Amino acid sequence: MSSQDLYRLRKQIESVDEEVLRLLERRVDLAKKVGEVKGDASVYDPSREMEIIERLCNLTKELDPKFVSLLFREIISFCRAVQKPIKVACMGPEGSFSHEAVVSFLGRFVDVVFVENPAEVFDHVSKEKAGIGVVPVENTTEGTVYSTLDAFATAEQSISVIGEGQLPIRLALASEEKTMADIEEVYSHPQPFGQCRNWLHKNLPWARQIPTSSTSYAAKIAKTKKKSAAICGRLAAELYGLNILDEGIEDHPYNATRFWLIGRAFARSSERCKTSILFNVAHKPGTLFQALEPLYKAGLNLTLIQSRPLPGNPFEYFFFVDFEGDVGEEKVKKALAAMRSRVERLRVLGSYPQIKFIK
């Protein structure tokens, strides 16, 4: 290829780049107009955002769907911020897996507020210090996050689940050093140490393992301490400018955490809706069976049932149940109506879409 051919192709790329830029400006302008039409309504609609991305992934024949998904997630995130900036509360510090979940589900154009526990996330949403909260619900290896369920049980009635998504938990060894041979100490939260036990024994048997309060704090230590490394997520490693010496070091191939997005309004109905409810029954034989029977008769698939102690009532419990379906469906309405006559208290925590972007 001659230098003239290369020059001509580069000029064509520049022309295409300018065309893409103009189209993006047009999309942002349209987003502003949509925001004006919506008024005070929520600018976050997870069902609509998934529809857009899935449609575009199906339209392309040349581009990798993962690339299309990531690209338009950020375009939508920016357009959403132009309509109305969103403040999101999650468990910190910066670079935590909850922070990764925020970026994964909502993109990078949100204002993130970091708090210490799920109860504080609910408090921020309740007091309108944040429009959306992101809280962990369940991990494939560690099980249910009880502190989230307990916080929801005492949250005000206006708070509901508006979306759910899964975040694959991929752990990395990150350091300022260039090779593993230079590592003498490894910092991380106790859970990742347990999840990487075999890998550490095989690859860093000489290194001291020092527990920290979080994986992102471990990354902060590794940034300043020589001959040290952190087991953390990619986002934490990137935020602290660390070298990723190895990634995917967890012993089990599939480790994921399910997160709830919470807000002050119910989500719009969608085809892939789940519903979460909370209820308690009289402390008598057969009452739990009687409470769940309407769900069985309606043919609703339960995806979670979890009990938690009922405050002030020793050895009595309330129950969390997730099932597939939307409260707008007739069979769900009838099932919940039947349940209400059989329980002491029933609260619908939300009907919401399952966020499934290509990663």
pLDDT tens digits along 288-334 = 999 999 999 999 999 999 999 987 777 788 999 999 999 999 999 99
pLDDT per residue as tens digits for the range 112-128? 999 989 999 999 999 99
**pLDDT(357) > 90:** no
Residue 267 banded pLDDT, cuts 50, 70, 90: confident
- The mean predicted confidence, pLDDT, of the chain is 92
Q: Are 281 and 291 in contact (CB under 8 A)?
A: yes
C-alpha 162/C-alpha 242 separation (Å) is 35
Superfamily of domain 269-353: ACT domain (3.30.70.260)
Predicted local confidence at residue 359, as pLDDT: 57
Q: What CATH code would you report for 86-169+256-262?
A: 3.40.190.10
Q: Is the peptide bond before 93 cis (omega within 30 degrees of 0)?
A: yes
Rounded alpha-carbon distances, angstroms, from residue 87 to 66, 124, 158, 179: 26, 10, 18, 39
Q: Delimit the CATH 3.30.70.260 region(s) of the chain.
A: 269-353
pLDDT tens per residue across span 5-29:
899 999 999 999 999 999 999 999 9
Domain with CATH 3.40.190.10 in the chain: 86-169+256-262, 172-247
pLDDT band at 266, cuts 50/70/90?
confident
pLDDT of residue 358: 63
Rounded to an integer, the average pLDDT of 209-222 is 92
pLDDT at position 321:
97
Name the token pair of 188.
Answer: 């991380």
pLDDT at res. 173: 97
pLDDT, residue 214, reads 86
**How far is it, in rounded angstroms, from Cα 236 to Cα 170?**
12
Q: Residue 82 CB: number of other CB atoms within 10 A?
A: 17
Per-residue model confidence (pLDDT) at position 343 = 95
Where does 71-184 show beta strands of DSSP type E? 87-91, 111-115, 132-139, 143-144, 160-168, 172-175
Segment 38-82, tens digit of pLDDT: 888 888 999 899 999 999 999 998 999 999 999 999 999 999 999
Spatial separation of the C-alpha atoms in residues 99 and 34, rounded to whole Å: 28
C-alpha torsion 103→107→109→115, nearest 10? -30
Inform me whether the pLDDT recorded for 1 exceeds 90. Answer: no
Q: Letter for the amino acid at 298?
A: A
Is residue 95 within 8 A of residue 235, CB to CB? The reply is yes
pLDDT the model gives residue 10 = 94
Q: Looking at domain 172-247, does it have CATH number 3.30.70.100?
A: no
In the predicted structure, residue 269 carries a pLDDT above the cut 80: no
Query: Phi then psi for 118, rounded to 5 degrees?
Result: -60, -35
State how far the alpha carbon of 112 is from the alpha carbons of 45, 169, 185, 330, in Å: 18, 20, 31, 38
pLDDT of 348: 95
